[in-house]
Structure 1
Amino acid sequence: MSLVTIPYSFLIAFMVVAVQGMSYYAILNGASNDTSLLGHTVGVDKLPKCAKLCENEDCASFAYNQQQKSCKFYSSRHILTPDRPTDGYTYFQKRAEGESTKYRRLAQTFTFNDRIWTVIQKRFDGSLSMNQNWEMYKNGFGNTTGEYWIGLETMHQVTSSSPHSLLVLLESWTGVLKYAQYDSFTIASESDKYRLDVSEYSGTAGDCLGTKGHNQMMFSTKDNDNDLTHNSCADAFKSGYWYDRCTSCNINGPMKPDPGLNERVAIVWHTFSNRFMPLGKTMMMMSRLP
């Protein structure tokens, strides 16, 4: 198989993100308290540079505007509010020592096609077990120095507050890189079992979520079975996911090498190669629509 054409920034970043990704606590529904503004810098070309400038102990949070290349610094945390007017800025805050919050989780950002994306799932070495229970999938697990899952509640809070896109980056064991982008991405509330809703596909990996039965499915884990079978797909496939009857594209499956044969209990995205081929790396990301 030949290498697909993907922007150069992806080729570099995908290989190094595990060790060089910048980490933040994202205020995903935050509003700034203008009285706490420390400073305002224009001409900061990348979000990680803005975050670096906030490393001073007086800076508790910051905001970045990709279009204006503008960075703001604050001496206090942002106020959480569901009805913050869109001002072009994405708000972040530094992680406090020992901090544990319900809807904010340590995350990485990633640039793809000139948009900034928040990484909500990352796998590259199989060190993190994805066979977790409902509470773990709800609140998140892992960390940005390795593999992680940001949490279903965070995905719901973010995608229900403003229109978002989903991006899934996939790499085979032989180094073939492909992607699937959905310009509409929403995760429902816990009362609806974090149901997945995606549409408007584009990309090179194929519309596996939309054409293979996963869209509009509720999330299932080994202790909370919401699939369409009489048995538990989460038990059978060793991971939580949006199962139907069970799975054609499960990027939370166990990490296994590719023996050249069909293997469904693995990291798979069937439309990647039109067979159940275990994959070696994945990143799942969300981004607010411009």
Structure 2
Amino acid sequence: MDDKKSNEDLLGEHNSTSIIECAARCQKECSFYGFNPNMKKCRTHKKIFTSGKSNESGWRYYLNNVIIIDCKDLQADGYFNSGVYEIYPSGTITSPVQAYCDMTKMGGGWTAIQKRITGSLSFDRTWTEYKNGFGSPEQDVWIGNDVIHQLTKENPSSLYVSISLQNGTTLYEMYDGFSVSDEAGKYQLFLAGPATRTLGDSMLDTGDSNRDLSGMYFSTPDRDNDRYSANCADLSYIRGGWWFNYCGFAHLNGLWSSESWRWPWYRTVMVGISVNGTTMMIRRH
């Protein structure tokens, strides 16, 4: 960074509790701002003095009104360690979301939308809870259907699904296309083009049109949007929110560590008692 140039353009350096507060300081006369989360410091600049990166440890710089939408943005901005970060899927600094970012698998830049690691968190939840999200991103979490919609509504994305088993094996699948509609559209799921990996496909082209999940609506125990005569999400061997058809061959939100959790991923993982962890992550193209 050119210190002389940055000092000439510096409008001010302030104590700041968050990047939201820092961005709020960047008014009409400000074109560029920096935030250091370790120092809790904010800098506002009149002009853009760098392409968007700084060599100063801990400082990150942003164009005014340019928001970090997802983990791919963070990776592009020089963050290469996996962990929990603040993102802004809605495109506004007033709606931050804590998300786990995987910066290593398949090139990194993945935003986790579902994680089950400890099994201590119940996924037998209501429509509103799935809408808003629940859990902790560093452990067990559903990021929220509204957030999933925001992340995918204008960004063609890939979906990465992994299941780790009690025997230490981890299996995964990737889908080239993934998006979810808004609440008015019942969070309808759209999938495209999996390349068969070690887990196999139990969502898109299962060989049974009554089990394929692309085009299906989201259901919860208190909101029945599937094609089955009963509510799949409310059945004793399913229990949990998901996209259901005539029920289905895949369901990662079942009753943890239970023989009643049937078909987490049909043909590959037949009963939930064998599951040690699950992850769903997305990355825009």
**Offset at residue 108 of structure 1 (A):** 0.6
**Offset at residue 113 of structure 1 (A):** 1.4
Question: Match for residue 245 of structure 2?
Answer: 244
**Offset at residue 215 of structure 1 (A):** 1.8
Q: Please point out which of 55, 67, 71 is paired with 2:38.
A: 55
Please give the alpha-carbon distance, in whole angstroms, between the structure 2 residues aligned to 1:241 and 1:231: 15
Question: Match for residue 132 of structure 2?
Answer: 139
Please give the alpha-carbon distance, in whole angstroms, between the structure 2 residues aligned to 1:216 and 1:112: 28
Task: Indicate yes or no: 2:144 matched with 1:151.
Answer: yes
Question: Match for residue 73 of structure 1?
Answer: 60
Question: Match for residue 207 of structure 1?
Answer: 201
Question: Match for residue 5 of structure 2?
Answer: none
Q: Please point out which of 13, 32, 35 is paired with 2:31.
A: 35
Q: Is the contact made by 2:221 and 2:240 (CA closer than 8 Å) also made in structure 1?
A: yes
Please give the alpha-carbon distance, in whole angstroms, between the structure 2 residues aligned to 1:243 and 1:233: 7
Q: Is the contact made by 1:117 and 1:287 (CA closer than 8 Å) also made in structure 2?
A: yes
Amino acid at match of 1:253: G
Question: Match for residue 123 of structure 1?
Answer: 116
Q: Please point out which of 263, 279, 285 is paired with 1:283.
A: 279
Computed over aligned residues only, the root mean square deviation of the Cα atoms, in angstroms, reads 3.7
Q: Is the contact made by 1:169 and 1:179 (CA closer than 8 Å) also made in structure 2?
A: yes
Q: Is the contact made by 2:177 and 2:193 (CA closer than 8 Å) also made in structure 1?
A: yes
**Offset at residue 54 of structure 1 (A):** 3.8
Question: Match for residue 222 of structure 2?
Answer: 223
Amino acid at match of 2:239: K
Amino acid at match of 2:147: T
Q: 1:150 to 1:102 in 2, by over 3 A?
A: farther
Question: Match for residue 257 of structure 2?
Answer: 256
Q: Would you say how many aligned residue pairs link Structure 1 and Structure 2?
A: 227
Q: 1:228 to 1:91 in 2, by over 3 A?
A: farther
Please give the alpha-carbon distance, in whole angstroms, between the structure 1 residues aligned to 2:52 and 2:66: 23
Please give the alpha-carbon distance, in whole angstroms, between the structure 2 residues aligned to 1:145 and 1:265: 24
State TM-score, norm by structure 2.
0.68
Question: Match for residue 188 of structure 1?
Answer: 181
Question: Match for residue 100 of structure 2?
Answer: 108
Amino acid at match of 2:60: F
The structure having more radius of gyration, on CA atoms, is: 2
Please give the alpha-carbon distance, in whole angstroms, between the structure 2 residues aligned to 1:214 and 1:249: 9
1:150-172 C-alpha deviation (Å, 9 max, x unpaired): 00111111101211111011111
> Identity of paired residues, percent?
29
Q: 1:217 to 1:90 in 2, by over 3 A?
A: farther
> Where does structure 1 lack aligned partners over 5 or more consecutive residues?
1-23, 27-31, 40-52, 61-67, 96-100, 258-262
Amino acid at match of 2:180: I
Equivalent position SS for 1:166: strand
